[in-house]
Amino acid sequence: MINSNNVNALERAGAENEEVVLFHSATISEVNHAIEKAFDIFEAYKTLPTLKRISFLENIAEELSVTGDPLISITSKETSLPQKRLEGERERTINQIRMFVNLLKEGSWINAVIDPAQPNRLPLPKPDIRQMQIPLGVVGVFGASNFPYAFSVAGGDTISALAAGCPVVFKAHSGHPLTSALVGRCILKAARSTGMPEGVFSLLHGAGQEVGTAIVTHTKIKAIAFTGSYLGGKSIFDAAVKRPEPIPVYAEMGSVNPVFVLPGILHNNSRAVAESLADSNALGVGQFCTNPGIIVILKSKDTEQFLEDYALYASNLKGGTMLSERIYHAYTSGIDTLRSHEEVKLIAAGKHDEGLNSAVPHAFKVSGKSFLQNKNLYEEVFGPSATLVVADDSEQLYEIARSFPGQLTASVWAMENDFKEHRELFRVLENKAGRLVLNNVPTGVEVTHAMVHGGPFPATTDSKATSVGSRSIYRFTRPLCYQNFPQELLPDALKDNNPLQIWRHIGGIFTKDGLK
């Protein structure tokens, strides 16, 4: 367990040190200790002035931004991800922290709603009622393997929970333990230097399921965030809802992110569409949650040309080393299953890259009819694999669209005449995904207010949440209302004179004005 007690030991191990550093799995008693400590300081942490919380987060961003090349090279060794990609991801992670800093500074995220009293209302007076969001309590966060920074120790889950006022107990992913420890150290340093209560953040290692189970089932854990596989996320969800007190689980479990290609754009732009999609599919060796794994083409006279364009381009794409041996084996086994499928035809295999666990991009094609009849073809093959489905007609295209389970994203490539003709496709896809994309690739998730990185089950376990963007903070809050409270007992966000100068919803109107 990493907390301020043993940061020094890690310090001695040294970030730049080339030696192997061994981490021990946390014991159950260490897990309990971390959670109890977080629980004990929850009330203190949530009632800190917002400026203190802001300076804590700012400090994490600063600590992260001075980790320099040593962190990048350690993470690259642990994950096989290229340094340049990791530099970008660290930058994105830092920017993500700063987005939450700005969200707290701006302040309206708290959703202050005020309904003033009407003492003369008949038949009964109406009391003064004021609502805002409050933090849930101690949050357990599970790190993902594919984003060692952005969805790991100081990633969006941890930061949005800390921003909301929730202490965090973090379970490091076994794929990058040293990276986790070093980033954890950034958070602990920031916590110490900004005077946060001890226990606001703990990092636990644990290769098996024992540590994770102990976190999920602890009575003082009030919510869980997870990014990873369906099996991992679903088993956490099942454990959490079986607790005597069920708790919310925000598990982002990936999806095949279907792409629909309409005839008009194929006629005008077949090659550019093919290349964009093939690039997106092979990006980062296909290890993104939003990787476009299934591409549905409405049959037209240009379909064959598109398939050729795609196959030609994909055949020249180079593979790369995957995150782990386990992930690589799952990929090759998924590819083998597709290759041996009677109704599926291989149309492209990319170039092999040197190195261990190196995956080769693959593309397959299948008819719409066969696709509809084989539910196993809907399953995600995590990695640079694309299945191109040719739909006979619009009816079949819509039928395919309707047949998908919940997705993180659904994309359409279309010209104006295409979407005029296929409005129904959009109405169907609205019910299927958290994000609809037009003439863009789904990979690349903007960290912004309007982002939804989520979607209906089985893409996530809670379609009402997003795990990216400012609204991800609401996973860790709930509304509370105060009835008939005097000014001095109300939180600043709800006081008459609006001391925080935030946007509020008063009697149905958005305003920064105080109450008269």
325 among known catalytic residues: no
Binding residues among 60-99 for a copy of itself as defined by CB under 8 A: 88
Return the range that interacts with a copy of itself (CB under 8 A); candidates 57-65, 266-274, 366-374, 444-452: 444-452
Binding residues among 470-499 for a copy of itself as defined by CB under 8 A: 471, 474, 477-486, 488-489
248 binds a copy of itself (CB under 8 A): yes
Looking at 96, 97, 137, 359, which residue binds a copy of itself (CB under 8 A)? 137
Helices (H) and strands (E) in the chain, counts: 17, 19
Distance CA 345, CA 348 (A): 9
Looking at 433, 459, 493, 500, which residue binds a copy of itself (CB under 8 A)? 433
Residue 382, Ramachandran bin (φ over 0: left; ψ between -120 and 50: alpha; else beta): beta
- 373 backbone dihedrals φ, ψ, rounded to 5°: -90, -10
Q: What minimum distance in Å lies between the beta carbon of 269 and a copy of itself?
A: 15
Q: What minimum distance in Å lies between the beta carbon of 126 and a copy of itself?
A: 6
Q: Which residues contact 160 (CB under 8 A, 6 or more apart)?
A: 100, 472, 473, 475, 476
Do residues 274 and 306 make contact, with C-beta atoms less than 8 angstroms apart? yes
Distance CA 462, CA 427 (A): 21
List the one residue out of 276, 273, 253, 248 whose CA is nearest residue 263.
Answer: 273
Binding residues among 177-216 for a copy of itself as defined by CB under 8 A: none
252, 395, 424, 481: which is the annotated catalytic residue? 252
The CA distances from residue 493 to 132, 149, 512, in Å, are: 8, 33, 11
- 359 exposure class (CB count in 10 Å sphere: 0-12, 13-18, 19+): buried
Q: Which is nearer to a copy of itself, 211 or 506 (CB)?
A: 506
Binding residues among 97-136 for a copy of itself as defined by CB under 8 A: 102, 106, 108, 113-115, 123-124, 126-127, 129-131, 134, 136
Looking at 16, 325, 353, 430, which residue binds a copy of itself (CB under 8 A)? 430
427 binds a copy of itself (CB under 8 A): yes
# chain residues binding a copy of itself, by CB under 8 A: 78
461 binds a copy of itself (CB under 8 A): yes
Q: Which is nearer to a copy of itself, 203 or 225 (CB)?
A: 225
Q: What minimum distance in Å lies between the beta carbon of 38 and a copy of itself?
A: 14
List the one residue out of 122, 99, 439 whose CA is nearest residue 280.
Answer: 439
505 binds a copy of itself (CB under 8 A): yes
Q: What minimum distance in Å lies between the beta carbon of 462 and a copy of itself?
A: 8
30, 78, 289, 380: which is the annotated catalytic residue? 289
Sequential DSSP letters for 412-464: EE--HHHHHHTHHHHHHHHTTEEEEEESS-S-----STT-----STTSBS-TT
DSSP state letter for 386: E
Q: Which is nearer to a copy of itself, 51 or 480 (CB)?
A: 480
- Position 65: which residue type? S
Question: What secondary structure, in 3-state letters, does 335-361 show?
Answer: HHHHHCCCCCEEEEECECCCCCCEECC
439 binds a copy of itself (CB under 8 A): yes
Q: Which is nearer to a copy of itself, 176 or 453 (CB)?
A: 453
Return the range that interacts with a copy of itself (CB under 8 A); candidates 188-196, 264-272, 298-306, 426-434: 426-434
Q: What minimum distance in Å lies between the beta carbon of 512 and a copy of itself?
A: 9
Question: What secondary structure, in 3-state letters, does 238-296 show?
Answer: HHHHCCCCCCCEEEECCCCCCEEECHHHHHHHHHHHHHHHHHHHHHHHHCCCCCCCEEE
Q: Which is nearer to a copy of itself, 17 or 484 (CB)?
A: 484
Binding mask 395-414 for a copy of itself (x = CB under 8 A): ----------xx--------
289 among known catalytic residues: yes
449 binds a copy of itself (CB under 8 A): yes
Q: Which is nearer to a copy of itself, 303 or 411 (CB)?
A: 411
Per-residue tokens: 119:
């003492």
Q: Which residues contact 242 (CB under 8 A, 6 or more apart)?
A: none
Distance CA 460, CA 353 (A): 33
Do residues 234 and 35 make contact, with C-beta atoms less than 8 angstroms apart? no
Looking at 49, 119, 208, 508, which residue binds a copy of itself (CB under 8 A)? 508
Looking at 434, 443, 459, 498, which residue binds a copy of itself (CB under 8 A)? 434
Return the range that interacts with a copy of itself (CB under 8 A); candidates 51-59, 274-282, 368-376, 421-429: 421-429
Enzyme catalytic residues: 252, 289
